[in-house]
Amino acid sequence: MERWQIIVIAVVASIIWMIYKRRTGRTKSTFSGDFPKRQTVESWYRLAQEKAADLEAETKTQKEKRWSEMSQEQQLAYTESFLETTFGSLAKTKYSTDEKLQLGKTQFLIEMESGPIQ
């Protein structure tokens, strides 16, 4: 690779990094401990409900059918894995089984449509 190509790549990368920092509100270096905050279950659930409302009725029905075909043990395993991965291990013990299943079903429907909520 020629020197001018390396310089162009470096300039483009620094511009992308500056845009990213401006859009995410980061002003400090990531290495100084300025990490983005985790979502709370409540804020995630609110966003998930908004996304779920946007799903087409027919597609949602098919996905709900797939969820209902899973055993309750599979649903709980899916939900607890999601809760631990997304919100930390304490989130698994914070909610009742019914609340966990509702969170898991919502995540399942959203994830099947467009991937995890960021």
- Report yes or no on 22 lying in a domain: yes
Higher pLDDT, 102 or 51: 102
**9 lies in which domain range?**
3-27
- Report yes or no on 8 lying in a domain: yes
pLDDT at 77 (0 to 100): 92
Q: How many residues does the chain have?
A: 118
Buried b (16+ CB within 10 A) or exposed e, 32-71: eeeeeeeeebeebbeebeeebeebeeeebeebeeebeeee
- Report yes or no on 15 lying in a domain: yes
What 3-state class would DSSP assign to 10? helix
pLDDT at 74 (0 to 100): 92
Q: What is the pLDDT of residues 60-110, one digit of tens each?
A: 788 888 889 999 999 999 988 988 888 888 887 888 889 988 888 888 888
Q: What is the pLDDT of residues 23-42, one digit of tens each?
A: 776 655 544 445 556 677 88
Number of structural domains (the chain) is: 2
- Report yes or no on 34 lying in a domain: no
